[in-house]
């Protein structure tokens, strides 16, 4: 079987999927740094990461399938599940023949798996838009740590760039060691050594003097607006998964 190797980046994965669409044979995709066990009959091909090639694939998906298909592609990348790359190839191959109707092909296992994963990522993004809580730090920066199941802080940051364009703020993915920072003019992504530098520069441990007062006000509002007879503990559990609770300001 042919194995297409890529560098694991968003662009690299798209280029590998594009190459898979060109070939009419059984194919598996793998990151070039992964440890793999294969037989002597396996053949490997390294796919070079090329932004132009990846852009062409996205444009083709939008033009020949739909704008929704383009969104599915991004959601699959955010999901960080390697198995979805093969499903993405199946989805696009079928979509290039059927157009937007491919989203109705629930009998196809690859399409069904991809759409389910896309829906889960979309739900994660929407929940974070509602549940992300910023705290004002002593540096004047509003900072929001979070630990999402999918790598979704980029689309979430785009949302808050529109909402809070006049503020300086950052969103920290504590599990992946990633941060998005908005300085009032430019949105930048930071990982590795840059991530540590941003935390040191913009995120001192102490809160702004009035931050604790705002938190107390929020708790007071929450308690006073609650109606005890109508308390339904199951509802917040359903709409607000427990792994968000650690980073909610008012709890």
- Bridge partners of residue 136, in order along the sequence: 142
- How confident is the prediction along the chain (251 residues), in pLDDT tens digits per residue? 788 888 888 999 999 999 999 987 777 888 887 555 555 557 888 999 999 999 999 999 999 999 999 999 999 999 988 888 888 989 999 999 999 999 999 888 889 999 999 999 999 999 999 889 898 888 888 999 999 999 999 999 999 999 999 999 999 999 999 999 998 999 999 888 788 777 777 665 678 888 888 888 888 887 888 788 888 878 877 777 888 888 886 55
Count other C-beta atoms under 10 Å from residue 72's C-beta.
27
pTM of the model: 0.84
Q: Which sequence spans correspond to the domains of the chain?
A: 2-125, 132-247
Q: Which among 22, 98, 88 has a CA at the least distance from the CA of 53?
A: 22
d(CA 81, CA 101): 25
């Amino acid at each position: 079987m042919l194995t297409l190797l890529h560098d694991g980046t968003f662009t690299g994965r798209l280029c590998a999927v594009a190459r898979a669409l060109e070939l009419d044979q059984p194919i598996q995709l793998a990151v070039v740094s992964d440890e793999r066990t294969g037989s002597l009959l396996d053949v490997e091909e390294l796919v070079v990461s090329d932004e132009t090639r990846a852009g062409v694939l996205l444009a083709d998906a939008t033009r020949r399938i739909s704008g929704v298909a383009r969104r599915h592609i991004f959601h699959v990348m955010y999901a960080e599940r390697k198995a979805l790359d093969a499903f993405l190839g199946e989805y696009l191959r079928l979509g290039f023949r059927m157009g937007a109707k491919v989203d109705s092909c629930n009998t196809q296992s690859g399409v069904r798996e991809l759409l389910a994963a896309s829906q889960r990522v979309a739900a994660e993004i929407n929940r974070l838009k509602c549940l992300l809580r910023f705290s004002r730090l002593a540096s004047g920066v509003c900072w929001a740590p979070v630990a999402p199941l999918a790598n979704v802080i980029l689309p979430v940051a785009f949302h808050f760039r529109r909402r809070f364009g006049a503020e300086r703020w950052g969103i920290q993915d504590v599990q992946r060691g990633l941060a998005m920072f908005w300085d009032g003019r430019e949105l930048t992504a930071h990982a590795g050594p840059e991530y540590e530098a941003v935390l040191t520069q913009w995120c001192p441990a102490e809160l702004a003097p009035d931050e604790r007062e705002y938190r107390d006000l929020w708790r007071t509002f929450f308690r006073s607006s609650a109606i005890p007879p109508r308390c339904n503990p199951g509802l917040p559990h359903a709409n607000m998964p427990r792994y968000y609770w650690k980073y909610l300001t008012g709890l």
